[in-house]
Structure 1
Protein backbone atom coordinates (compact mmCIF):
# COMPACT_ATOMS: atom_id res chain seq x y z
CA UNK A 1 0.00 0.00 0.00
CA UNK A 2 2.85 2.41 0.83
CA UNK A 3 4.29 1.73 -2.60
CA UNK A 4 1.03 2.69 -4.35
CA UNK A 5 0.79 5.87 -2.30
CA UNK A 6 4.33 6.87 -3.22
CA UNK A 7 3.96 5.92 -6.85
CA UNK A 8 0.63 7.63 -7.61
CA UNK A 9 -0.52 10.04 -4.94
CA UNK A 10 2.63 12.07 -4.28
CA UNK A 11 3.34 12.84 -7.98
CA UNK A 12 -0.33 13.78 -8.47
CA UNK A 13 -0.17 16.22 -5.56
CA UNK A 14 3.03 17.75 -6.88
CA UNK A 15 1.57 18.25 -10.34
CA UNK A 16 -1.49 20.01 -8.97
CA UNK A 17 0.45 22.49 -6.84
CA UNK A 18 3.23 23.37 -9.26
CA UNK A 19 2.99 26.71 -11.04
CA UNK A 20 4.75 26.96 -14.37
CA UNK A 21 5.56 29.48 -17.04
CA UNK A 22 2.39 28.56 -18.93
CA UNK A 23 0.41 30.21 -16.13
CA UNK A 24 1.81 33.57 -17.24
CA UNK A 25 1.47 33.13 -21.01
CA UNK A 26 -1.10 35.45 -22.52
CA UNK A 27 -2.18 39.06 -22.33
CA UNK A 28 -2.72 40.70 -18.94
CA UNK A 29 -4.60 43.96 -18.39
CA UNK A 30 -3.89 46.42 -15.61
CA UNK A 31 -4.73 49.96 -14.61
CA UNK A 32 -2.19 52.38 -13.17
CA UNK A 33 -3.12 55.98 -12.36
CA UNK A 34 -6.21 55.76 -14.60
CA UNK A 35 -4.19 54.44 -17.56
CA UNK A 36 -4.94 51.01 -18.99
CA UNK A 37 -1.95 48.95 -20.03
CA UNK A 38 -1.10 45.39 -20.92
CA UNK A 39 1.74 42.95 -20.35
CA UNK A 40 2.06 40.18 -22.90
CA UNK A 41 4.00 36.97 -22.18
CA UNK A 42 4.47 34.66 -25.16
CA UNK A 43 5.43 30.99 -25.18
CA UNK A 44 8.84 31.69 -26.76
CA UNK A 45 10.09 33.72 -23.78
CA UNK A 46 9.36 37.19 -25.19
CA UNK A 47 7.38 39.85 -23.35
CA UNK A 48 5.91 43.21 -24.34
CA UNK A 49 4.27 46.19 -22.66
CA UNK A 50 1.37 47.84 -24.48
CA UNK A 51 0.36 51.33 -23.35
CA UNK A 52 -1.83 53.80 -25.26
CA UNK A 53 -1.71 51.61 -28.36
CA UNK A 54 2.10 51.57 -28.42
CA UNK A 55 3.90 48.24 -27.94
CA UNK A 56 7.36 48.14 -26.42
CA UNK A 57 9.09 44.79 -26.39
CA UNK A 58 8.53 41.43 -27.96
CA UNK A 59 10.73 39.60 -30.42
CA UNK A 60 11.57 42.78 -32.29
CA UNK A 61 10.68 46.44 -31.74
CA UNK A 62 12.17 49.86 -32.41
CA UNK A 63 12.94 52.43 -29.75
CA UNK A 64 14.77 55.64 -30.56
CA UNK A 65 15.57 54.22 -33.99
CA UNK A 66 17.31 51.14 -32.56
CA UNK A 67 16.07 47.58 -32.92
CA UNK A 68 15.54 45.70 -29.68
CA UNK A 69 13.87 42.71 -28.07
CA UNK A 70 12.45 42.00 -24.63
CA UNK A 71 12.58 38.60 -22.95
CA UNK A 72 11.38 37.41 -19.57
CA UNK A 73 12.38 34.85 -16.97
CA UNK A 74 10.30 33.56 -14.09
CA UNK A 75 11.65 32.10 -10.84
CA UNK A 76 9.04 30.01 -9.04
CA UNK A 77 11.48 28.97 -6.31
CA UNK A 78 10.91 32.26 -4.49
CA UNK A 79 7.95 33.68 -2.65
CA UNK A 80 6.71 35.94 -4.15
CA UNK A 81 7.51 34.73 -7.67
CA UNK A 82 10.32 36.70 -9.34
CA UNK A 83 9.60 37.98 -12.85
CA UNK A 84 12.48 39.62 -14.72
CA UNK A 85 12.32 41.44 -18.04
CA UNK A 86 15.48 41.97 -20.11
CA UNK A 87 15.49 44.61 -22.83
CA UNK A 88 18.34 44.07 -25.28
CA UNK A 89 19.60 46.27 -28.12
CA UNK A 90 20.01 43.77 -30.93
CA UNK A 91 22.89 45.60 -32.66
CA UNK A 92 25.15 46.10 -29.63
CA UNK A 93 23.89 43.36 -27.29
CA UNK A 94 23.60 45.95 -24.51
CA UNK A 95 20.84 45.03 -22.10
CA UNK A 96 18.92 46.34 -19.12
CA UNK A 97 16.88 44.36 -16.60
CA UNK A 98 13.64 45.29 -14.93
CA UNK A 99 13.01 43.23 -11.83
CA UNK A 100 9.58 42.34 -10.55
CA UNK A 101 7.56 40.18 -8.21
CA UNK A 102 4.23 38.49 -8.81
CA UNK A 103 1.63 36.55 -6.90
CA UNK A 104 -1.41 34.76 -8.28
CA UNK A 105 -4.61 35.48 -6.38
CA UNK A 106 -6.40 33.08 -8.74
CA UNK A 107 -5.58 31.66 -12.18
CA UNK A 108 -6.70 34.84 -13.98
CA UNK A 109 -5.60 37.49 -11.47
CA UNK A 110 -2.06 38.49 -10.68
CA UNK A 111 -0.68 40.93 -8.13
CA UNK A 112 2.38 42.52 -9.76
CA UNK A 113 5.11 44.96 -8.77
CA UNK A 114 8.05 45.95 -10.96
CA UNK A 115 10.99 48.25 -10.44
CA UNK A 116 12.68 50.02 -13.33
CA UNK A 117 15.72 50.98 -11.19
CA UNK A 118 17.59 47.62 -11.08
CA UNK A 119 16.39 46.81 -7.55
CA UNK A 120 13.76 44.14 -7.03
CA UNK A 121 10.69 45.17 -5.04
CA UNK A 122 10.43 43.22 -1.81
CA UNK A 123 6.71 43.61 -1.22
CA UNK A 124 3.43 44.61 -2.80
CA UNK A 125 2.81 48.26 -2.03
CA UNK A 126 1.16 51.37 -3.53
CA UNK A 127 3.18 50.86 -6.73
CA UNK A 128 1.73 47.38 -7.25
CA UNK A 129 -0.97 46.71 -9.79
CA UNK A 130 -3.56 44.01 -10.24
CA UNK A 131 -3.42 42.31 -13.63
CA UNK A 132 -6.31 40.30 -15.06
CA UNK A 133 -5.95 37.82 -17.87
CA UNK A 134 -7.51 38.95 -21.16
CA UNK A 135 -9.55 36.10 -22.60
Structure 2
Protein backbone atom coordinates (compact mmCIF):
# COMPACT_ATOMS: atom_id res chain seq x y z
CA UNK A 1 0.00 0.00 0.00
CA UNK A 2 2.87 2.39 0.81
CA UNK A 3 4.43 1.65 -2.58
CA UNK A 4 1.18 2.51 -4.37
CA UNK A 5 0.92 5.77 -2.44
CA UNK A 6 4.55 6.65 -3.23
CA UNK A 7 4.02 5.89 -6.93
CA UNK A 8 0.88 8.04 -6.99
CA UNK A 9 2.66 10.98 -5.38
CA UNK A 10 5.59 10.59 -7.80
CA UNK A 11 3.25 10.49 -10.81
CA UNK A 12 1.40 13.62 -9.67
CA UNK A 13 4.71 15.40 -9.01
CA UNK A 14 6.06 14.51 -12.48
CA UNK A 15 2.83 15.66 -14.10
CA UNK A 16 3.01 18.93 -12.18
CA UNK A 17 6.67 19.58 -13.12
CA UNK A 18 6.24 18.78 -16.82
CA UNK A 19 3.28 21.14 -17.11
CA UNK A 20 5.56 24.01 -16.06
CA UNK A 21 8.36 23.07 -18.44
CA UNK A 22 5.97 23.22 -21.40
CA UNK A 23 4.98 26.76 -20.40
CA UNK A 24 8.58 27.84 -20.03
CA UNK A 25 9.75 26.05 -23.16
CA UNK A 26 8.84 28.83 -25.62
CA UNK A 27 11.19 29.33 -28.52
CA UNK A 28 13.87 31.97 -27.85
CA UNK A 29 12.78 33.69 -31.07
CA UNK A 30 9.29 34.46 -29.77
CA UNK A 31 8.84 38.10 -28.82
CA UNK A 32 8.78 41.65 -30.08
CA UNK A 33 12.06 42.82 -31.61
CA UNK A 34 13.26 46.32 -32.54
CA UNK A 35 15.70 46.88 -35.38
CA UNK A 36 17.36 49.95 -36.85
CA UNK A 37 18.69 50.39 -40.38
CA UNK A 38 20.09 53.75 -41.51
CA UNK A 39 18.04 55.64 -38.89
CA UNK A 40 14.84 53.78 -39.87
CA UNK A 41 13.35 51.89 -36.96
CA UNK A 42 11.22 48.81 -37.47
CA UNK A 43 9.75 46.03 -35.40
CA UNK A 44 9.41 42.31 -35.90
CA UNK A 45 7.08 40.28 -33.73
CA UNK A 46 7.14 36.49 -33.70
CA UNK A 47 4.21 35.12 -31.72
CA UNK A 48 4.07 31.83 -29.85
CA UNK A 49 1.16 30.71 -32.06
CA UNK A 50 3.22 31.05 -35.26
CA UNK A 51 2.34 34.49 -36.61
CA UNK A 52 4.78 37.17 -37.75
CA UNK A 53 4.14 40.92 -37.76
CA UNK A 54 6.37 43.52 -39.42
CA UNK A 55 5.99 47.18 -38.48
CA UNK A 56 7.71 50.10 -40.24
CA UNK A 57 6.83 53.79 -39.93
CA UNK A 58 3.69 52.95 -37.98
CA UNK A 59 2.35 50.59 -40.66
CA UNK A 60 1.81 46.96 -39.71
CA UNK A 61 1.89 44.00 -42.04
CA UNK A 62 1.23 40.47 -40.87
CA UNK A 63 -0.38 38.66 -38.01
CA UNK A 64 -3.63 36.73 -38.07
CA UNK A 65 -5.31 39.20 -40.44
CA UNK A 66 -4.26 42.23 -42.47
CA UNK A 67 -5.19 43.73 -45.82
CA UNK A 68 -2.85 44.18 -48.78
CA UNK A 69 -3.94 45.10 -52.32
CA UNK A 70 -7.57 44.50 -51.40
CA UNK A 71 -6.99 40.96 -50.10
CA UNK A 72 -7.19 39.71 -46.56
CA UNK A 73 -3.94 37.96 -45.69
CA UNK A 74 -2.19 36.42 -42.71
CA UNK A 75 1.54 36.11 -42.12
CA UNK A 76 2.97 33.07 -40.42
CA UNK A 77 6.53 31.96 -39.91
CA UNK A 78 8.46 28.71 -39.81
CA UNK A 79 11.83 28.18 -38.19
CA UNK A 80 14.13 25.26 -38.96
CA UNK A 81 16.77 25.19 -36.24
CA UNK A 82 18.26 21.97 -37.63
CA UNK A 83 19.89 24.03 -40.39
CA UNK A 84 22.99 26.11 -39.87
CA UNK A 85 22.47 29.00 -39.91
CA UNK A 86 18.90 28.66 -38.65
CA UNK A 87 16.34 29.08 -41.45
CA UNK A 88 13.28 31.30 -41.12
CA UNK A 89 10.46 31.68 -43.64
CA UNK A 90 7.86 34.47 -43.46
CA UNK A 91 4.81 33.11 -45.24
CA UNK A 92 1.88 35.17 -46.57
CA UNK A 93 -1.42 33.30 -46.62
CA UNK A 94 -4.55 34.34 -48.57
CA UNK A 95 -7.32 34.05 -45.98
CA UNK A 96 -10.08 33.56 -48.58
CA UNK A 97 -8.82 30.12 -49.62
CA UNK A 98 -6.00 29.45 -47.13
CA UNK A 99 -3.31 29.30 -49.83
CA UNK A 100 0.26 30.52 -49.71
CA UNK A 101 0.79 33.65 -51.84
CA UNK A 102 4.40 34.42 -50.95
CA UNK A 103 7.39 33.29 -48.94
CA UNK A 104 10.31 35.40 -47.78
CA UNK A 105 13.28 33.19 -46.97
CA UNK A 106 15.90 34.14 -44.43
CA UNK A 107 18.37 33.06 -41.80
CA UNK A 108 18.75 34.02 -38.17
CA UNK A 109 21.02 33.60 -35.22
CA UNK A 110 20.56 34.41 -31.59
CA UNK A 111 23.44 36.66 -30.52
CA UNK A 112 22.07 36.52 -26.98
CA UNK A 113 18.65 35.98 -25.43
CA UNK A 114 17.93 39.65 -26.18
CA UNK A 115 19.60 40.04 -29.60
CA UNK A 116 18.42 38.46 -32.84
CA UNK A 117 20.46 38.72 -36.06
CA UNK A 118 18.37 38.14 -39.18
CA UNK A 119 18.99 38.31 -42.93
CA UNK A 120 16.07 38.11 -45.36
CA UNK A 121 16.30 37.47 -49.10
CA UNK A 122 14.25 40.46 -50.26
CA UNK A 123 13.51 40.13 -53.97
CA UNK A 124 15.33 36.81 -54.28
CA UNK A 125 14.15 33.22 -54.39
CA UNK A 126 17.30 31.96 -52.69
CA UNK A 127 17.81 31.98 -48.95
CA UNK A 128 20.78 34.09 -47.80
CA UNK A 129 23.76 32.01 -46.73
CA UNK A 130 25.39 34.57 -44.45
CA UNK A 131 24.75 37.88 -42.72
CA UNK A 132 26.77 40.14 -45.03
CA UNK A 133 23.81 41.59 -46.98
CA UNK A 134 20.25 42.50 -46.01
CA UNK A 135 20.96 41.70 -42.36
CA UNK A 136 19.57 43.48 -39.31
CA UNK A 137 20.33 43.17 -35.64
CA UNK A 138 17.17 43.26 -33.51
CA UNK A 139 16.95 43.88 -29.78
CA UNK A 140 14.19 42.34 -27.68
CA UNK A 141 11.49 44.80 -26.67
CA UNK A 142 9.35 42.22 -24.86
TM class by shorter-chain length? 0.7 to 0.9
Alpha carbons of 1:77 and 1:134: their partners in 2 closer, same or farther (altered >3 Å)?
same
Q: Contact 2:33/2:44 (CA < 8 Å) preserved in 1?
A: yes
CA RMSD of aligned residues (A): 1.4
Task: From 52, 69, 72, give the equivalent of 2:74.
Answer: 69
Q: Contact 1:21/1:74 (CA < 8 Å) preserved in 2?
A: no
Q: Which has the larger radius of gyration?
A: 2
Q: How many residues align?
A: 116
Task: From 93, 101, 113, give the equivalent of 1:95.
Answer: 101
Q: Contact 2:91/2:100 (CA < 8 Å) preserved in 1?
A: no
- For 1:89-128, list aligned pairs within 5 A: 89-92=94-97, 93-116=99-122, 117-128=124-135
CA distance in 1, matches of 2:101, 2:26: 22
Alpha carbons of 1:114 and 1:99: their partners in 2 closer, same or farther (altered >3 Å)?
same
Q: Contact 2:121/2:134 (CA < 8 Å) preserved in 1?
A: no
Q: Contact 2:119/2:134 (CA < 8 Å) preserved in 1?
A: yes
Extract unaligned runs of 5+ from structure 1: 1-19
Q: Deviations over 1:29-82 (max 9, x none)?
A: 101222100110111101010001111000000111210000000001011110
CA distance in 2, matches of 1:95, 1:67: 11
Alignment partner, residue 35 of structure 2: 30
TM-score by length of 1: 0.80
TM-score by length of 2: 0.77
What SS is found at the alignment partner of 1:59? strand
What SS is found at the alignment partner of 2:77? strand
Extract unaligned runs of 5+ from structure 2: 1-24
